[in-house]
Structure 1
């Protein structure tokens, strides 16, 4: 992926050099998380609460920032900028609305979000109530060394997948699904979660197609890196590699084959409507 020397995003919140992220301040912590999640499920606006620094455990705690961390931060900034350009164009053409980009929080070690504590162990995630994505810059090392998904476009796929959750949020899909999941048992809730995640993979495929058409930044082997990453973080592969018995009813993201299939679908189509995993009879 050709990314060096290109525009970076301004929508980066860098907490890597802050301190105090290990525990939430007064008004934060588990109580805040519970309140926010319930409010989100009920459609209640909690913006004022989220904007209060005292209510959030902002900051980051971890090891010193390395050269690899700085390179990862620069890479994420460029990739995020690409998502902004691509999704603004797609929303204009396919949705007929303006795309409002998310903020991406970079941290090192641990930090707090309105959706819970964030750490290298949690992996990248999107918090819909804040409209923020969270990423520990050490994750890319784990992606390559622990999960076997190396390459810059494998990392770009992960970022694109998390931003795809923001796209779902902007389209009104996440609020609706979260309200439904709150009323379901664990198995059926997991089934809906799988459809959410596979749709995000499909949307990441659309982004990949569009970023190549718009900027021509993909290089030979990039698509293979993304497909390998999708395979390595499939629920079945993760359970197998952990030495666990296969338990499909616990899957929340989809199998390796499903994740690859929906990524390819978005890549080949480029149309948001073709990413409707919720109406699909077979995933």
Structure 2
């Protein structure tokens, strides 16, 4: 009889421990794994509760001429209801979009002026591995600077929006990103997502500052640097030879008026001008 009572007590104790373990969310999570995407959502909520920064996926969209594409709408076409992605999202003045961090693939229809433009699939393998694939986009369209950031960084980007050159005594304007330039470049105008800084620590911006933060290869000299009111900087070439392919690089030392560093940008153009 004593042995039988011990067995009964042991059975009651075992059932009690198992019940407590099953109700314990940590143990229950091990015993009953759920879908990875739901886990991501739960971890995101836990991170928010613990004060962990919210993660975002960001990237810039540029057209085949190298111009940042503003006011494109990214509309989620993912039908899985377990995802926390909301839509639509819109590219800002620098052509940048910001999406909630989601592990796996997110499908978007990109709209331009209310009409379907192309489809975009963004795949996140880890916070440091983000890739994209487009379908139906015009040849030469680019998805650049694709990466993960903290939500607090979403207002820290300063972008080159456009670059064009002026020729024929200032009467004609064309994209600097053009495949072949057959006209003498009188000046180059850079347009940014916000106003660039007008002065450096030592005073007004100079040609020395220009040569430090805007480089060109093969070597050439630019002068007559001007910074007009608004979001533009203008430079004029002093010595630039034709029949060469140039790489013009704008560096992070270029700052916005609010102190943001420029996202580096290199523009390649084929200068086929022969006087």
Shorter chain as denominator, the TM-score bin is under 0.3
User: Higher strand proportion, which one?
Assistant: 2
TM-score normalized with structure 2 length: 0.23
TM-score (norm 1): 0.23
